[in-house]
Structure 1
């Protein structure tokens, strides 16, 4: 007896299209009073959270993107809007002494010290800070930030201020996580396919009836 190819399997083959690079999801934390309250003791203003190194329980926030783990995730981008972060410094005996330098602490990425050079220094007036995290940054920086994020569907961040001469603070207005990767596109099937599928199904049914009557 001739077996027809199952229609569902055929539909699956025709629906599958080449993977397309795309933004899979965008998550935004808007730090406003009563709208979004992150972890820590930092005070919420009308449209910001005041990040202060004087707090015993410092600011920490976490993005949960586990709803997207079914797709292939290639990169994460964290974008911060802020003000009053500096950096600032003064000179003494020809040395430049930092007085305020805020660094993004993302996963296991931390600044060396106040005299070190890292990419994630918050600089006023330069626009939002965007931090890329992917497999290449893990390899280049000797971290597992991206790998850990993919394993848990979560990525956390906070801030370090190693130039602790006084109690410094800055305002954080929002944080946005953009998740990019590849997904299989679903392509609508043309009408002729459905006619063909119906015809094949009818032939199979008629054949089974004839065989049952013999």
Structure 2
């Protein structure tokens, strides 16, 4: 029985090796290139009207290459109405950053200002709509398509954290001013914020 199992293992191993090779006209075996579906397209509308200081009306997607660790910046080309369609040659599930362009001298640079984070997966095209009013009173981010659900969920999660006031708890200077008799109130506030943020 053991010999039979080993024999089957060898047969399967041989089969997988052969399927990854091709025979040329001269009889030599050559490795076939591995084919995988890579990249995706993000399309939609981006209008960021709150331009301040050195900010310019230019946006880009950025992600880190999982193999080289290099940050890849893909500029987003939009029409006059803000519509766009951008292909990203990613090869695995990746966190993206939507970057706001800034101008230094005569050059537009990306990387100093991140509008928000989002997620993408090869083969799962999705839509993105982003609007920021000039007075900062209105800010909308909407997703659709194959990766729309996970991005919508992530957006709701980060929004819940923001509303939990968790960041205020981490202001240590304010904690240093707290009196001893306010410790119990602080503990209640901390656990309430923690529950709101992580109970999403």
TM-score in same-fold range (> 0.5)? no
The one of the two structures with greater contact order (alpha-carbon pairs below 8 A, sep at least 6) is 1
For the pair shown, the structure with the greater C-alpha radius of gyration is 1
TM class by shorter-chain length? under 0.3
